Amino acid sequence: MFVGHYGVSFAAKGVDARIPLWLLFLAVQAVDVLWAVLVLLGIEKVKLIPGITAANPLDLYYIPYTHSLVAALSWSALAFFASLRWRRPTSVKAAVVVAAAVFSHWALDLLVHRPDLPLYDDAHKVGLGLWNYPRLSFVAEVVAVAAGMLIYARARRRDAPPGRLGLTVVGGALVIGNAIFYFGPFPPSVGAVAVMVLASYAVFTAAAAWLESRISAGASRGR
The contacts found for 58-64 with CB under 8 angstroms, 24 or more apart, are 58/193, 59/116, 60/113, 60/116, 61/116, 62/122, 63/35, 63/116, 63/117, 63/118, 64/118, 64/120, 64/121, 64/122
| Amino acid identity, position 9 | S
Q: How far is the CB of 34 from Zn ion (least distance, A)?
A: 10
Question: How many residues of this chain bind Zn ion (CB under 5 A)?
Answer: 2
Beta strands 45-48 and 58-62: pairing type? Answer: antiparallel
**Min CB(70)–Zn ion separation in Å:** 15
Q: Whose Cβ is closer to Zn ion: residue 174's or residue 211's?
A: 174
Cα 7 to chain centroid distance, Å, stands at: 8
In whole angstroms, the minimum distance from the beta carbon of 217 to Zn ion comes to: 33
Instruction: Give the per-residue contact string, 50-89, with Zn ion (x = CB under 5 A; - = no).
Output: ----------------------------------------
Is residue 32 within the footprint of Zn ion (CB under 5 A)? yes
Measured CA to CA, the distance from residue 212 to residue 223 in angstroms comes to 17
Site for Zn ion in 104-123 (CB under 5 A): 109
Q: Which is nearer to Zn ion, 106 or 166 (CB)?
A: 106
Question: Which range binds Zn ion by CB under 5 A, 45-53, 102-110, 147-155, 184-192?
Answer: 102-110
CB of 67 to Zn ion, least distance (A): 6
Rounded to an integer, what distance in angstroms lies between the CA atom of residue 124 and that of residue 159? 46
Distance CA 97, CA 12 (A): 6
Is the Cα dihedral 109, 115, 120, 122 positive or negative? negative
Nearest 10 degrees: Cα torsion 207, 14, 112, 36: 40
Nearer to Zn ion (CB atom), residue 109 or residue 212: 109
Check residue 141 for interaction with Zn ion (CB under 5 A): no
Is 44 near Zn ion (CB under 5 A)?
no
Q: How far is the CB of 178 from Zn ion (least distance, A)?
A: 14
Question: Which window, 29-37, 178-186, 189-197, 214-222, contacts Zn ion (CB under 5 A)?
Answer: 29-37
Nearer to Zn ion, 109 or 116 (CB): 109
Which lies closer to Zn ion via its Cβ, residue 32 or residue 141? Answer: 32
- Answer whether 59's CB lies under 8 Å from 46's CB: yes
Nearest to 74 by CA among 37, 121, 109: 121
Site residues, Zn ion (CB under 5 A): 32, 109
